[in-house]
Amino acid sequence: MKPSTRLWLASLYLFIMGTASLAYTIAELMLGVIYGSLLVTSDAIHGFMDSAIAYISGFGLYYASQRGRAFPWEIYRLESLLTLLSIVAVLALYTYMLAKASPFRAVRQSF
């Protein structure tokens, strides 16, 4: 099997898993809001992040599989770059959320 075919199959797998994860996440979000569960709602937000990363990585692999005259081997770097950027974005978001909800923040403000 050619590398471009394997990349295309991997991107298809990521799109399918992203869609399945998104459907599950929407159902989980609806149940979390209906029952007022903060735990389930926060897990749904985490599921949205997982779906977004699956789609971003899937797009990167899809474009990497389109190698031809218009797409030289350097397009493989695009897939790596998109994956790295999505990881950095998720880490930045979670760092911001952690800093916003940090118990040390309340201690520092009291002094």
Spatial contact of 11 and 62, defined as CB atoms under 8 Å apart: yes
Angle (CA) 27 31 33, round 5°: 120
Residue numbers of the domain that contains 27: 3-106
The verdict on residue 32 lying in a domain is yes
The verdict on residue 111 lying in a domain is no
The verdict on residue 12 lying in a domain is yes
Which candidate, 20, 22, 13, 28, places its Cα nearest to that of 48?
A: 22
Tell me, what's the pLDDT at 38? 84
Residues in the chain: 111
pLDDT tens digits in sequence order for the chain, 111 residues long: 776 777 788 888 989 999 999 999 999 999 999 998 888 888 888 898 889 888 888 887 787 777 666 555 566 677 677 778 888 888 888 788 777 776 665 555 555
Q: What Rg, from alpha-carbon coordinates, does the chain have? A: 19
What is the reported pTM? 0.65
Total of domains in the chain? 1
> Burial of 83 by CB count in 10 Å (0-12 exposed, 13-18 middle, 19+ buried)?
middle
> Burial of 80 by CB count in 10 Å (0-12 exposed, 13-18 middle, 19+ buried)?
exposed
Tell me, what's the pLDDT at 60? 78
The verdict on residue 93 lying in a domain is yes
Tell me, what's the pLDDT at 107? 54
Q: 3-35 and 38-65 are packed helices; what angle lies between their axes, rounded to 10 degrees?
A: 160
The verdict on residue 89 lying in a domain is yes
Tell me, what's the pLDDT at 20? 94
The verdict on residue 50 lying in a domain is yes
